[in-house]
């Protein structure tokens, strides 16, 4: 039986091409993702340890447990002198780290947060220049590589940094520094100075870190203990090795999340591969019933036939998996090389290949192949030998019936999915409800797979009515699909998976865009928003907006109205906002869910839903607000939707000034005058902020454009990943058509003998393939829209569901094209069948 199985495998090798490709693609994605994750982890570890291998001991200020808004604690000169005086210490350097706003090429402050000013160099230098050199005097700086990429500045350029007194100072860029895994630099960027220049440009004399090198012959652990004893409770001390490992572990956790997300796409590809493999083996076993019946007649047992089929699947799985693992390693390395810069990862010494991706890849491909062949192998043992030898029609007979067990199971899963979905929607927006939606989708798809033959039969019968009028080839194509609904369902279900996910992601993307636009238009119907940079080094965080800015804007003929914003937290942490100069309910906070924002006045407030729930207040209830300046209990007159531009509590200006008498304006909103051009309004805004580079100017159109660009980029990335599943599905449809043509050679010859021309035969098979693909695409679109709406409803408050009409049309067009491409080679082979040879062959 071993020799027979291997001989059968060699004879069927060409028919297994699509199966091999499906396994290879699934394994490539799985192995490539694991290699990518391992290489990314190694890169992070190299970065972390690379910056710390020059530091034996590192000390940070201990976190205070006092007031929540207290200034961050720092280490002073006395602490540094005490560390340097230790006999266990050879050298120690204090590091200044505080805000030092860098201006971009247009003279505006770079980023939403002030750039971090960092002192580098000294006796113990944690950082080295990745390009150029570190600054050596007060007129030189180095930039973080991330900041250089964001600003466009490079070595040799002149840059401007704003001092604490507002004065602008110019520096020459001497180098670029890779700050590795520093958390603040990752979102703020950094400008590196000498110590004196850093203290001058940040206005901070104390140190955020102290770097220590142990004395010669002193163990690092002993030096760490000595530094910890000298600094006492004022600092947290660890060895450079320990701190580097903490950074690497934290970054590794982030890399793990990214890798897990990619593995989800790999799981989709593997699932689609399983469907293709199962369908292929089902048809192959059906075609070889005579061969297996003959084996049974000459003495082969059921078990031997079963094992022979699984052996074929095992060999195919091993060979295909080995090819997939090799290609996956190359893909993982290529993916890291391309994506490292986007993930703040430095170049790794080389691709990291451990045993895990190799073993997992081989197991995934081999198990997928063997598991997919189990049911076909069982069916192969159930055919009576003499019956199989008497007829060739058995190959299609099992596909005509859809058993009541399959129907009942499918219906049960669909009902369970509906129940989970209903529970998720009744719970409202929450993480639990989102998990229920995901669970509902998974259960639903199991039900669809079981129920798909009936769906195919119903949809094909419906779509087939107009096709039957298009001529004999189209009518025959409809009959072919109806005659074997299980086979058609198996061919199209893989395409359904990809169509569901692509439609779902596309619908969520367009709905998020529509929701943002609606909320901005309702809550802030303005053209420009002006805010000072938020400073994490300051207890107040947001800097005051100069009054001259609003005054100059109000005097411009290109501006219709200007209103400002003030924000603060009360003693309970409630976020309170007021809008001087605004007409509440018109300029701010339109579209309240209950009540009217226009009713907000002295003694009345509007509250967003989640804050109202957290505080336990509702419409018409008093809301206690307490600050050091006083206490008020205004009445809630409006409930605002969550997820918009407004958060917390909106009060009248009078109530806000009573609670927070010293809080200035922190932002301004500008509405263009009617008839003014966008250029005129933009010039007026730029002129008003010209002397205030720290003020960030955003137009609503820019916000929408940036958000849309981010969503488009994300969707394109997802589309590229899911494209693999679509590609596998197309191979599955092509494979099904090719094997079906081989199975129906006598039928094709008979049709030709009855007068069907070769072009008509090719058209018949093309229509059949397109019909299967369109059914799979339509079903996927329907499921994608359903679960996108459910997912959006449980995550986006105030969802404006917007079906992606253009994307859906494009997807269905791709389905038609996929069907046509899948039918080309099978149709060509069918049209070349010899009529006399096939009809003479008994």
pLDDT tens column, 461-506: 888 888 888 888 888 888 877 877 777 777 777 778 778 888 888 8
Q: What is the dihedral of CA 66, 71, 73, 74, to 10 degrees?
A: -170
Q: How far apart are CA 701 and CA 517, in angstroms?
A: 9
Residues 664 and 798 in one domain: no
Going from the C-alpha of 228 to that of each of 41, 90, 96, 253, the distances in angstroms are 31, 16, 20, 29
- Domain membership flag for residue 78: yes
Q: How far apart are CA 59 and CA 208, in angstroms?
A: 9
- Domain membership flag for residue 357: no
Indicate yes or no: pTM above 0.85. Answer: no
**CA geometry: angle at 239 spanning 190 and 124, to 5°?**
50
pLDDT in tens, 437-465: 878 888 888 888 887 888 888 888 888 88
pLDDT in tens, 720-733: 666 766 776 777 67
Four-residue CA torsion sign, 336, 342, 348, 353: negative
Q: What is the mean pLDDT of residues 432-436?
A: 81
- Domain membership flag for residue 606: yes
Range 545-552, long-range pairs (CB < 8 A, 24+ positions): 545/664, 545/665, 545/666, 545/667, 545/668, 545/695, 546/692, 547/665, 548/688, 549/668, 549/688, 549/689, 549/692, 549/695, 550/581, 550/665, 550/668, 552/687, 552/688
Give the 3-state secondary structure of residue 642: coil
Helix, strand, coil percent values for the chain (each to nearest 5): 60, 15, 25
Residues in Cβ contact with 481 at an 8 Å cutoff, skipping those fewer than 6 apart:
456, 460, 464, 488, 768, 771, 772
Among 658, 693, 728, residue at a domain's last position: 693
Residues 724 and 673 in one domain: no
Q: How far apart are CA 669 and CA 565, in angstroms?
A: 8
- Listing from the earlier edge strand, what are the strands of the sheet with 209-214? 89-95, 209-214, 57-61, 235-239
Q: What is the mean pLDDT of residues 766-778?
A: 85
pLDDT in tens, 800-829: 888 888 888 888 888 888 788 877 777 777
607 vs 773, more confident: 607
Domain tally, the chain = 3
Residues 650 and 501 in one domain: no
- How far does Cα 18 stand from its chain's mean position? 30
The count of residues in the chain is 842
- Domain membership flag for residue 840: yes
Going from the C-alpha of 385 to that of each of 291, 296, 374, 388, 742, the distances in angstroms are 9, 6, 20, 5, 22
| Neighbouring C-beta atoms of residue 66, cutoff 10 Å | 8
Tell me which residue of 507, 243, 271, 505 sits closest to 372, measured CA to CA. 271
Residues 475 and 511 in one domain: yes
Residues 507 and 552 in one domain: no
Which is it for strands 594-595 and 635-640: parallel, antiparallel or unpaired? antiparallel
- How far does Cα 361 stand from its chain's mean position? 23
Going from the C-alpha of 462 to that of each of 325, 456, 478, the distances in angstroms are 44, 10, 10
Q: Report residue 245 as tokens.
A: 């490992």
- Domain membership flag for residue 126: yes
Residues 169 and 235 in one domain: yes
Q: 141 pLDDT band (50/70/90 cuts)?
A: very high
Q: What is the dihedral of CA 605, 611, 613, 619, to 10 degrees?
A: 10
Q: How far apart are CA 14 and CA 20, in angstroms?
A: 10
Residues 628 and 770 in one domain: no
* pLDDT score recorded for residue 197: 93
- Domain membership flag for residue 689: yes
Q: What is the mean pLDDT of residues 188-193?
A: 90
Instruction: Enumerate the β-bridge partners of residue 782.
Output: none
Residue 448 near residue 492 (C-beta atoms within 8 A): no
* pLDDT score recorded for residue 119: 92
* pLDDT score recorded for residue 641: 80
* pLDDT score recorded for residue 633: 92
* pLDDT score recorded for residue 304: 80
Residue 661 near residue 555 (C-beta atoms within 8 A): no
* pLDDT score recorded for residue 819: 81
Q: 207 pLDDT band (50/70/90 cuts)?
A: very high
Q: How far apart are CA 744 and CA 752, in angstroms?
A: 12
Residues 674 and 786 in one domain: no
Residues 451 and 553 in one domain: no
Q: Report residue 798 as tokens.
A: 């105030």
Of 16-30, 210-224, 355-369, minimum mean pLDDT range? 16-30
Q: Report residue 674 as tokens.
A: 């009617």
Residues 98 and 237 in one domain: yes
Instruction: Enumerate the β-bridge partners of residue 117.
Output: 98, 191
Domain, as residue range, for 119: 54-249
Residues in Cβ contact with 739 at an 8 Å cutoff, skipping those fewer than 6 apart:
15, 280, 283, 284, 287
Residues 235 and 112 in one domain: yes
- DSSP code of residue 98: E
Among 675, 693, 711, residue at a domain's last position: 693
Q: Above 50 in pLDDT, residue 85?
A: yes
Among 669, 693, 717, residue at a domain's last position: 693
Residue 226 near residue 86 (C-beta atoms within 8 A): yes
- Domain membership flag for residue 722: yes
- Domain membership flag for residue 383: no
The terminus-to-terminus CA distance of the chain in angstroms comes to 27
Q: What is the rounded radius of gyration, in angstroms, for the C-alpha atoms of the chain?
A: 34
* pLDDT score recorded for residue 398: 44
Residues 579 and 647 in one domain: yes
């Amino acid at each position: 039986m071993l020799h027979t199985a291997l001989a059968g495998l060699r004879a069927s090798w060409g028919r297994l091409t699509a199966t091999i490709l499906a396994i290879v693609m699934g394994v490539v994605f799985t192995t490539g993702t694991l290699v990518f994750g391992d290489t990314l982890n190694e890169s992070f570890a190299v970065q972390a340890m690379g910056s710390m291998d020059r530091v034996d001991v590192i000390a940070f200020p201990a976190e205070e447990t006092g007031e929540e808004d207290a200034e961050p604690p720092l280490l002073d000169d006395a602490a540094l002198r005490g560390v340097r005086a230790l006999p266990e210490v050879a050298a120690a350097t204090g590091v200044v780290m505080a805000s030092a706003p860098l201006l971009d090429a247009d003279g505006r402050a770079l980023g939403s947060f002030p750039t971090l000013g960092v002192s580098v160099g000294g006796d113990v230098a944690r950082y080295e220049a990745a390009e150029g050199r570190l600054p050596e005097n007060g007129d030189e700086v180095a930039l973080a590589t991330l900041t250089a990429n964001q600003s466009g500045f490079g070595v040799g350029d002149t840059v401007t940094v704003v001092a604490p007194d507002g004065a602008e100072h110019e520096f020459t860029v001497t180098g670029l520094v890779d700050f590795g895994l520093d958390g603040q630099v990752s979102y703020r960027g950094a400008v590196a100075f000498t110590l004196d220049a850093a203290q001058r440009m940040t206005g901070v004399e104390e140190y955020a870190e102290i770097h220590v090198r142990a004395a010669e012959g002193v163990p690092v652990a002993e030096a760490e203990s000595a530094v910890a004893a000298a600094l006492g409770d004022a600092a947290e001390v660890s060895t450079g090795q320990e701190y580097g490992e903490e950074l690497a572990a934290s970054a590794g956790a982030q890399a793990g999340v990214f890798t897990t997300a990619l593995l989800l796409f790999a799981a989709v590809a593997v699932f689609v591969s399983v469907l293709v493999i199962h369908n292929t083996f089902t048809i192959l076993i059906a075609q070889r019933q005579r061969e297996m019946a003959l084996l049974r007649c000459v003495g082969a047992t059921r078990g031997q036939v079963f094992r022979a089929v699984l052996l074929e699947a095992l060999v195919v799985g091993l060979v295909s998996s080995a090819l997939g693992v090799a290609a996956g390693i190359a893909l993982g390395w290529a993916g890291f090389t391309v994506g490292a810069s986007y993930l703040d990862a430095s170049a790794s010494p080389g691709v990291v290949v451990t045993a895990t991706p190799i073993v997992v890849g081989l197991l995934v491909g081999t198990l997928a192949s063997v598991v997919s062949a189990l049911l076909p192998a069982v069916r192969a043992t159930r055919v009576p030998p003499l019956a199989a030898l008497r007829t060739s029609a058995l190959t299609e007979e099992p596909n005509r019936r859809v058993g009541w067990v399959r129907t009942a199971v499918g219906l049960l899963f669909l009902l369970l999915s509906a129940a989970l979905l209903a529970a998720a929607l009744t719970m409202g927006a929450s993480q639990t409800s989102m998990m229920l939606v995901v669970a509902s989708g998974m259960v639903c798809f199991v039900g669809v797979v079981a129920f798909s033959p009936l769906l195919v039969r119903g949809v094909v019968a419906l779509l087939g009515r107009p096709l039957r009028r298009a001529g004999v080839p189209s009518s025959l194509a409809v009959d072919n699909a109806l005659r074997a609904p299980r086979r058609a369902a198996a061919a199209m279900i893989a395409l359904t998976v990809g169509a569901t996910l692509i439609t779902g992601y596309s619908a969520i993307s367009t709905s998020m865009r529509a929701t943002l636009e609606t909320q901005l238009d309702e809550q802030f119907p303005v053209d420009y928003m002006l805010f000072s940079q938020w400073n994490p080094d300051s207890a107040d965080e947001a800097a005051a907006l100069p009054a001259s800015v609003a005054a100059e804007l109000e005097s411009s003929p290109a501006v219709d109205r200007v209103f400002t914003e003030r924000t603060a937290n009360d003693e309970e942490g409630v976020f309170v906002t007021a809008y001087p100069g605004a007409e509440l309910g018109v300029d701010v906070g339109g579209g309240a869910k209950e009540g009217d924002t226009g009713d907000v006045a002295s003694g009345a407030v509007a509250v967003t839903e989640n804050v109202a729930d957290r505080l336990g207040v509702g419409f018409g209830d008093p809301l206690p607000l307490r600050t050091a300046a006083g206490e008020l209990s205004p009445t809630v007159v409006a409930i605002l939707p969550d997820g918009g531009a407004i958060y917390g509590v909106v009060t009248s200006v009078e109530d806000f000034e009573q609670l927070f008498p010293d809080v200035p304006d922190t932002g301004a909103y500008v509405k263009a005058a009617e008839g003014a051009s966008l250029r005129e309004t933009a010039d007026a805004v730029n002129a008003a902020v010209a002397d205030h580079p720290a003020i960030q100017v955003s137009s609503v159109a820019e916000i929408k454009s940036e958000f849309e660009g981010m969503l488009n980029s994300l969707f394109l990335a997802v589309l590229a990943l899911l494209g693999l599943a679509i590609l596998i599905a197309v191979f599955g449809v092509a494979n099904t058509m090719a094997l079906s043509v081989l199975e129906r050679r006598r039928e094709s010859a008979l049709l030709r003998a009855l007068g069907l021309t070769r072009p008509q035969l090719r058209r018949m098979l093309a229509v059949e393939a397109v019909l299967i693909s369109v059914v799979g695409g339509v079903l996927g679109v329907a499921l994608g829209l359903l679960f996108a709406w459910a997912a959006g409803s449980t995550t986006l408050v105030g969802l404006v569901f917007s079906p992606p009409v253009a994307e859906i049309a494009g997807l269905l067009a791709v389905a038609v094209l996929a069907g046509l491409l899948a039918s080309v080679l099978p149709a060509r082979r069918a049209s070349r069948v010899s009529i006399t040879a096939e009809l003479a062959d008994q």
